[in-house]
Amino acid sequence: MSSIELNKEDIKEILNALDKARNELDNIRAILAKLTGETVLLIPPEWERKRLKAWAKIHEKGDLVTYDEWQKIVNHVGYDPRGTGGFFAGDNPSLIWVGEDKVALTKWAAQEVEKYRQWLESQEKK
């Protein structure tokens, strides 16, 4: 019997694949619920909740904000501005720089905001 050894990168890749599969299943569930007239409140995974709140604020402003607006948004949502580089990092960042002083929401992040719109609205009421 052979033993399989996974390194951190292998594990990260598997976890990312699982997240993508979960997202696709959630999308299918939402489509089926809509077709049957059922109302389903999709709840984002824990790791995405604070990010979604920041993305939603940018989405409300047309998916493009100044750097100063971005700083106010992350402060309002509860981030330390020094720790927000992850929004711009990786193979598929959720935010991109436009020029020297503007921040834009990427298409996939805007789609996440729309996907979880009802959840976001439920959070505003709290």
59 in the same domain as 35: no
51 in the same domain as 34: no
59 in the same domain as 1: no
Strand order in the sheet with 64-66: 64-66, 102-105, 95-98
> Average pLDDT for residues 75-83, to the nearest whole number?
89
How many alpha carbons lie under 13 Å from residue 13 in its C-beta half-sphere?
A: 5
107 in the same domain as 56: yes
| Residue 92 vs residue 45, higher pLDDT | 92
> Average pLDDT for residues 79-93, to the nearest whole number?
91
Contact present, 56 and 50 (Cβ < 8 Å): no
51 in the same domain as 30: no
100 in the same domain as 83: yes
30 in the same domain as 52: no
66 in the same domain as 109: yes
Nearest-angstrom CA–CA distance, 63 and 80: 21
Structure confidence at residue 113 (pLDDT): 96
60 in the same domain as 32: no
35 in the same domain as 2: yes
Q: pLDDT grade, residue 126 (50/70/90)?
A: low
Percent of the chain with pLDDT strictly greater than 90? 53
Query: Which residues span the domain enclosing 86?
Result: 46-124
12 in the same domain as 62: no
Structure confidence at residue 101 (pLDDT): 94
Number of domains in the chain: 2
69 in the same domain as 99: yes
The CA dihedral of 73, 78, 81, 85, to the nearest 10 degrees, is -90
